[in-house]
Structure 1
Amino acid sequence: MSAAPLVTLDRDGGFWIATLNRPDKANALTEPMLSDLADIAEAAQEARVFVLTGAGKVFSAGADLEAARTGLATSPVWERLSGAIAALPGLSIAALNGTVAGGAMGMVLACDLRIAAEGAGAFYPVMKLGFLP
Structure 2
Amino acid sequence: MADYEMILAERRGDVLVVTLNRPDRLNAAPPRMFDELREALADLNGARAVLVTGAGRAFCSGADVGGGALGSDDPGNTTFTALTAHYNPTMLAIADLAVPVVTAVRGPAAGIGCSLALAADFCVASDTAYFLQAFVNIGLVPDGGASWMLPRLIGRARAAEMMMLGERVPAARALEWGMIHKLVADDALDAEAFALAERLAAGPTVALGLMRRGLGQALDCSYAEAMNREAENQRKVRGTADSMEGGMAFLQKRKPAFKGR
Which of the two has greater helix per residue? 2
Maintained 8 Å contact 1:31/1:72: no
What is the match of residue 23 of structure 1?
A: 23
Matches within 5 A, 1:1-133: 5-44=5-44, 46-65=46-65, 66-70=68-72, 71-72=78-79, 74-75=81-82, 76=84, 77-126=86-135, 130-132=141-143, 133=146
Post-superposition Cα deviations, 1:85-132, rounded to whole Å, max 9, x if no partner, equal: 111121101110221001122222221110101120000112675535
Between the aligned partners of 2:80 and 2:14, the Cα distance in structure 1 is 32
Q: CA deviation at 1:44?
A: 2.5
Gaps of 5+ in 2: 73-77, 147-261
Where has structure 1 moved over 6 Å in runs of 4 or more? Answer: none
User: Given the two structures, how large is their TM-score scaled by the length of structure 2?
Assistant: 0.46
Identity %: 29
User: Mind listing any 5+ residue stretches in structure 1 that lack a counterpart?
Assistant: none
Matched residue pairs, number? 130
RMSD across aligned positions (CA): 2.1
> CA contact under 8 A between 1:44 and 1:88: conserved in structure 2?
no
- In the aligned structure 1, how far is the partner of 2:116 from the partner of 2:22? 17
Aligned-partner SS, 1:79 = helix
Asked which structure has the greater RCO (Cα within 8 Å, sep 6+), the reply is 1
TM-score, normalised to structure 1, is 0.86
Judging changes above 3 Å, is the alpha-carbon distance between structure 1 residues 84 and 46 closer, same or farther for their aligned structure 2 residues? Answer: farther
